[in-house]
Amino acid sequence: MARVLMFGALQELAGWREREIDAASLDALRALLTAEDAALGDRLAGPGVFAVINKDLVRGDPPLSADDEVAFVPPVSGG
DSSP conformation class of 48: T
Site string for another protein, 1-40 (x = CB under 8 A): ----x-xxx-xx----------------------------
Min CB(40)–another protein separation in Å? 15
Helices (H), the chain: 8-14, 26-36, 38-45
Cα 48 from Cα 74, distance rounded (Å): 6
Q: Given candidates 4, 26, 70, 71, which one binds another protein under the rule CB under 8 A?
A: 71
DSSP conformation class of 15: T
Alpha-carbon Rg for the chain in angstroms = 12
75 binds another protein (CB under 8 A): yes
Residues that bind another protein (CB under 8 A): 5, 7-9, 11-12, 48, 52, 55, 71, 73-79
